Every structure is written in structure tokens, then in C-alpha cells.
Amino acid sequence: SCAPVAVRNARWLTAFGNGSFGFAQGRGISSAKYLFSADDLANTAWQTLDHAQTWTANAGATIHQDRFLLTGVLAYGSGLRTGPDNDQHVPGHFTVDISMQYTLLTHAFPVRVGVDVINAFDEHYAYRIANGFVGSSYGAPRSVYLSLSLPLAREPGHGGAAGSDAR
């Protein structure tokens, strides 16, 4: 199930939030059977799947100021199942992503430059730990990306006019 919420102030703010509860189970073993004993393969009891996270939530906001955008997103995950018998949870985690974008008006074609910082506080967290044949995985460290967006055609509603000065 999911519970989304959205807020919009057309002048300067857009915000959202959502949360979900998930529960997934399966019976028996259907892949990598060579890794399991005959007793494990004979077990057809229901088990919570290792790739199902119970709670997930996201919240974010974008501030608009003329040609400048600043966006922040907070994400929460309660942790995937783990352990040799898939009966434990990886600890939950929070991450923060921040994006900034500025639009340059060059004639009729807006050029956008941006910076995205993923996992801004360099949160170190386990994504999964020793869950059978997949092994262990960890969340990505802080990453910074630069972007340049050049439209291939005139954008409708763009206020720039051909021959106008770049701002």
C-alpha cells in the first residue's frame, strides 16, 4: 500500500511525500538450487523474500526562483531481509539527495546547467548482508554529477526570442 501527499505553491514551492508498506512471500526454492541441501529444497513453507523491504518513504521539495531550482529529497528504507536463513533485517537507513539547476536563456533555446549530489551526507549503510547466494551489497557513497542540457528544438512557451541577449 502507498500513501502519497503533494503540495504545490505555483510561485516558488513544490513538495511531495509518500510512504509504502510492502510484504512479499514465496514458497520453495526456484533458482540456484545447487547451493541448497535436499532438506532445504524439500521445504515448501512460506518465507519472506530477501528483496522485499517492509517500509519505504520519500519526501522532497523544490524551490523555484526565476531560473534557479533547488531540490532536496529524503529517502528512508527499513532494510531488506538477510542472513543465511533469511530471518534477519539489515538496519534501516536515510539518505539525502540535493540538486541545483540554473537555466541560461540563449536566444530561443534555454540551456540548463546543474549539479546533483547523491547521498549528500555520505551515509554508509548495508543494502544486503550475506543473504545466501547474492552475498553482501552496500549503498553507494556520496556522488556528484554535473549536467548540461541542450534542447534540440525550440521549447513551447519559452519566453526567449531569437536574437535576444543571453542573460
Name the grid cell of 91.
Answer: 538496519
Higher model confidence: residue 53 or residue 3?
A: 53
- Is the model's pLDDT at 163 over the cut of 60? no
pLDDT band for position 57 (cuts 50, 70, 90): very high
Looking at per-residue pLDDT, the higher value among 10 and 90 belongs to 90
Integer-rounded Cα Rg, in Å, for the chain is 23
Name the grid cell of 72. Answer: 532536496
pLDDT at 164 over 70: no
Helix (H) / strand (E) element for 41: namely: helix 38-42
**Which pTM does this prediction carry?**
0.76
Res 95 pLDDT > 70: yes
Residue 30 in grid coordinates: 526456484
Mean pLDDT over 89-110 rounds to 90
- Say if CB 146 and CB 115 are below 8 A apart: yes
Q: Grid coordinates standing for 70? A: 533547488
Query: Looking at residues 17-35, what average pLDDT do you find?
Result: 85
Sign of CA dihedral 115, 76, 125, 129: negative
CA distances from 54 to 28, 49, 105, 138, 142 (A): 21, 11, 45, 18, 25
